[in-house]
Amino acid sequence: MTQFLASVRGPEEAEIALRAGADIIDLKEPDRGALGAVPYGVLVETVRRIAGRAEVSATVGDLPMDPDVLEPAIARTAEAGVDYVKFGVFAGETTEACLRALHPALKGAKLILVLFADDLPDCDVVGLAADMGAAGVMLDTRHKGSGHLLSHMDRERLAAFIVQGRRHGLRVGLAGSLRKEHVDELLSLGPDLLGFRGALCEASLRGGALSEEAVREIRGLIPKEPLEEPLASSRVNPALSADGASPIW
């Protein structure tokens, strides 16, 4: 089954997405770039409010391909109690070396590498993701004004990406300015999840307010997987407050 990921800015939007049936609540600040991170206090409070009702993912922000920068950002995001930590794989001379050197402390979370269909690196990111023990890979779009995912990669290339990820034992997600008219075609490829932001907002603007009606519409297009047992996710860290402070041991 394909899961429905809804990107939200904070606890209020998370409640809307939960009411409307999203499978995964993804924390992202659309005004801060392709994978803009929400303020840390907002992240902690949202995880606390969700309280295991759905899985939670969060981005670390649009950070350079430098393990000395990425590793502490990934560890801090994981410490907030999310189920998945996402970071962007940006094309450049240091991309492959960074991925080979990256050994983040995940603190119980799982790692997701996000590639951009309009800015693909020259290295084998899927293979490197598997080598570092990541849980999955996603395809997104970096430049939101440059078109949706299917305007950069046709269904044959998307299908090949999904097959490649599966061969490496990774979960595979698709996102990138997706609209409701894309759902049927992408579902036929069998990804593990489809991610949305703009299509869930008022006037379909990714920086706008989340619309419960729009979230419910997308939910209705993606068959919901039956829940067999209570979720034990969203690992709320009792050692953290909403301002991100840790106790002194």
Positions marked catalytic = 28, 86
Tell me how far apart the alpha carbons of residues 43 and 57 are, in angstroms, rounded to a whole number.
Answer: 10
Contacts of 170 (CB under 8 A, 6+ apart): 126, 129, 130, 134, 135, 136, 137
> At residue 10, what is the residue type?
G
Contacts of 244 (CB under 8 A, 6+ apart): 40, 41, 44, 80
Both tokens of 120, joined, read 């693909």
Look at residues 167, 172, 117, 168 and name the one whose alpha carbon lies nearest to residue 140. 117
What are the beta bridge partners of residue 3? 193
Tell me how far apart the alpha carbons of residues 114 and 125 are, in angstroms, rounded to a whole number.
Answer: 9
Both tokens of 111, joined, read 């790692």
The whole-angstrom distance between residue 122's C-alpha and the CA centroid of its chain comes to 22
Tell me how far apart the alpha carbons of residues 135 and 24 are, in angstroms, rounded to a whole number.
Answer: 15
Tell me how far apart the alpha carbons of residues 24 and 195 are, in angstroms, rounded to a whole number.
Answer: 9
Look at residues 80, 91, 95 and name the one whose alpha carbon lies nearest to residue 38. 80
